[in-house]
Structures are given as C-alpha cells and as structure tokens.
Structure 1
Amino acid sequence: MVNAPGTANDGFVLTLDCAESPGIVHSVAEYLLDHGCFIVDIKQFGDQLKGHFFMRVRFVPTGGGPTAGELRDSFAPVAEQWGMNWRLEPQGRRERILVMVSKYGHCLNDLLFRARSGELPVEIVAVVSNHETHKDLVAWHGIPFHHIPVSADTKPAAEAQLLDLVDGYKVELVVLARYMQVLSDRLTSVLTGRAINIHHSFLPSFKGAKPYHQAYERGVKTVGATAHYVNAELDEGPIIAQQVIEVDHSYSAADLVAVGRDAECKALTNAVRWHAEGRIILSGNRTVVLR
C-alpha cells in the first residue's frame, strides 16, 4: 500500500537532464517499477531545438523504505547509460540556505516567515548583512546574524569571510534578498547555480540602480520583479521567476517602489521554493522549471 503524503515516507524526487533520445522515460519508469516504486507526479520537457531532455519524477516506494543513498546507488547505472546529470533527494527535504540582505528587509522578512511556518522547504541557517538594520529581527527568529561590512578595500576579505560561512554552515543555496552589493567574478564563479538574486524590476528592462525610477520616467503600465541565478554579468543570470503588477499614470515613483515590494517577495519565494523542490534545471543561460 502506498503511504499518503505527509506520513513517515513522503517518497523521493528525481530530477535529471540529458541528450534527447527515445527510451529515456521508459528506462526511468522501468527502474522505478523494478524497485517497487509508485510514481506520484512526473513532469518532462524535450527541447527539440537543442536536442535535450529534462525530467522530474516524484515517487514513493510501495514496500520497505530504501534510503536515498541506496536508491542513488541502484539508479547510477541507468544514469550512466543515458549520460544524465541527475539528483535524487527525499521529498520535503529542507534545503540549507543563507540569506544576504542590506537595508531593505521585506524579502528577508517574507522568507523568515515562510520558512518558520513550514511553507518553504528550507532551513535558514544564517543571515549575512553589510548593515545591522535587521539584527534584532533575525535574532527573534533564533537564527545566527553575521554583520560583514563591505567597502572597496575590504571586499576581498568580506567575500572570503562569506565563503567561510557558506562552508561552515554547509550552505546549499545563497539567497540575495535585496543585498545591494555587486559580487565579484570569483565569488559568482564559486556560487554558480547556488545563488539566487531578486532584482526589483522586470528584467531585461531597467537594470542597475533605481529601476522603479527608470520605469516611472518611461511611463510604464506594468512593474515587476525578477528572480534569477547570479552570474558574472550584472542582472544577466538565468531567469527563474517573474511577477508583474499593473500600474498607470497616476503612480508616482514612490508608489511603484511600494507596489513592487509585493512582486519582489512573490518572485523570490517562488524561485527559492522551486530550487529547493528540485524543479529547476539550468540549460545554458536559461532555466527549465518543471512545475
């Protein structure tokens, strides 16, 4: 009998991508059948232009409970056969994340609440800031707060300290929740695929500083926010999630900033959730989000 979600065995999630070829789905399904597993949910996408295949499967063992390690060992030959990039994790596993923030705290506050309430499958293990503005808020949640000031002269040392924290806390994902410092090329290289930023604009429009003020000057009819992976190019990383809010000529620049905060929180929350749930696969400078 299959265990219902939320019981002792919520099952596992397998995410994979590889070169497109007939028989991949059959091979994965056959493996799961042979190992007594029931498929709960399956999403897949074949990129015909690039000849690449993407897949996410959530499944539950119907008999005794194998560990994730045992399943990885037994699935490895299948993955090798198809040349897969793949990941297999327990369903509901909480991703260890470190949040970085500057003075604007709405995205941080939203993440803290959703993680605390269990809405997000993450554990916020630490918060890093170049200001002490949110020290008390983070302390109230019982999470370590690290103040790392940054200047042009201290930036290399500050980033080295950050990487020490990433290693020390065994961080799996760094979330830039309105962290208003540009990361160095070296740091973005180390954190490739492991750092998500929220940009307070609907990229690729209005990059850089004060995008809402840029939008106001252009008389836009929508404002939005973009969550994306961080790379060496400022605000050019692979886009994960976007949110849009309709506005009109009566909105001031300050009004656009205010309504944009909701879009920022929602876009960042979605991106963090989808990453933690193994729904995102990087494909060059694009993402495939299997929802």
Structure 2
Amino acid sequence: MNLIQTPFGFANTAAEVAAGIDLTGRRAVVTGASSGIGVETARALAATGAEVTLAVRDVAAGERVAKDITATTGSTALHVAPLELTDPASVAAFTAAWEGPLHILVDNAGVMACPERYTPQGWEWQFATNHLGHFALAAGLHAALAADGAARIVVVSSTGHQISPVVFDDVNFAFRPYDPWLAYGQSKTANILFAVEATRRWAGDGITANALMPGAIYTNLQRHTGGRGSGRVPPELIKSVEQGAATSVLLATSPLLEGVGGRYFVDCNETETVDRRSGTLHGVARYALDPANAERLWTLSEALLADTEGVA
C-alpha cells in the first residue's frame, strides 16, 4: 500500500491547505474548538463556507472564538454547543440535539500527561477524554454521519502514541502505578485504533476516519508539563497553531483523501509504520494500526460505556 503524499508539508498553515476548497452546504463539528489548534481548525473550515459547530466545555470561551472567526472570515454559520467528553450524559445530550446530516467530525479536544484522576465511572481521565468521550460522540452521531454518504472523521492523535500501546487488561491503571505519559500514550494509540476500526466498520455508510500528529505546538494542552510538552523537541520543529491545524484541515477537506481511511498522517502526509520508537515526530507504531487491536478496542469501549450507563 503506497503512502499518501500531498503538496503540503511541515510549514503549511490550515488556511493554505484549505485555500480554494468550497464546503458550502457542508456541516462540521470540532471538539475543543475554544483554544489551541481547535480554533484554527474551526477557522479554516468556516473560511471554506462550511457550517461549523464548536463543541466546547467552556461555552463563553467558545462564543468569544466564534465572534473572532466571524470577524476574520466573514462567516456567520457558526454555532457553539456544550460538550464535556468525560461525562456520558453531556455527550448524549449533544448527540441527541443534533439534527440533519454531518459531513465532518474533528475529534480535536484532548488532555496531556495530567495528574492521576478518574471519572465517576472509574475511567482514567486521559483515556476517558481523549478516546472514550470521542468514541461515544462518534457512535452517537453515526446516523448523521451516515446520512452524508461520504462523511469524514478526523482524529487528533500524537507521536506520543509510541510511548504505549493500549494495555487492554488495565486501561484504567487499576493494577499498575499511574504514569501520566503512559496514560497519554495509551489514549493516543486508542485514537488511531478508533480510526482504523471506524473506517472498517462503517465502510458501508461511506464514513472514513483518519488520525494525525499535528506537530509540536505550545498551547494550553501543555499546562501539566510546564508549557513545553515533553521538552525534547528542538526549537526548529515547533509549529505555530496555524501550522498545527494544517493536517487536521487537510484530512477534513482535501480531495486527495476521498474514500481514504484508517491511516495516520504527520505534516500533511501519511507517515511510515515503525516497529520501535522512531525518536522523531514521524512514524506510526504497528500496534496502532493493527486490525485485531482496533476491533478489540471497539468492543472494550462499547462494554465500558454500556456497563456504566446511568452512573452519575
């Protein structure tokens, strides 16, 4: 299978990637769109003419961003809706309120290397936020995505997935000491596996899902790591937020990605599969693309959500 290559790369911005693309009449949801690369992802999609819903924890912040996007793009087709990914009731309320088809879902929200914390359901916080909440969101929006016939799901993962596979027998750190980076790595692997299985499972509906590494960008995501992520990235590899949103926007909009799913992209191009940590921001671990792992994660995710229905 040939790797997908595009005319874009490390330095391109979201606006450059979306230039010339007309998504008038299309509808998009971007989670975590009140800060960081989520803002620029939503801005670039709005500039194409798409109707964009900012799904955010902080509605007031989301409203401020929506006004700013209108001011810079001229688009008034912006909506702000509350979404707390760690709360199944919040996710259910969001999906229940959605009407009509959905063309693009960008799973952008996330947390990184946070202190040990668990939801009322007993889910580890990073796994719950980065994977389970988005899994429930996509499942709840499945009918809306299927109604389009060619919908795309974009999942923001990370090179951090190379830190850890999904430890299926202990995703919630019940039997091993909590480690913030192992938890982060596991959740980011889960993001990629979700894209693999969603593409396979929903192929008949024309839904495709791809995952990506946005690059090293200093945003509020690094609030638990001193503001500099892992601290190991050379300065010349740090991106602006506009550059960081480019790969998400490419996967959401580019004609080159029509019918393509279950893949992982870095710097606007599909990256190689690796069997050991690459030591760079490129490469996708073989375990993160493994179909058996992807199906197992889907089954586990469904079970976790089903077992805790009704838990406050």
| Larger proportion of helix | 2
| Larger proportion of strand | 1
Flag whether TM exceeds 0.5 (same fold): no
User: TM-score, structure 1 length as denominator?
Assistant: 0.44
User: TM-score, structure 2 length as denominator?
Assistant: 0.42
Structure index of larger Rg? 1
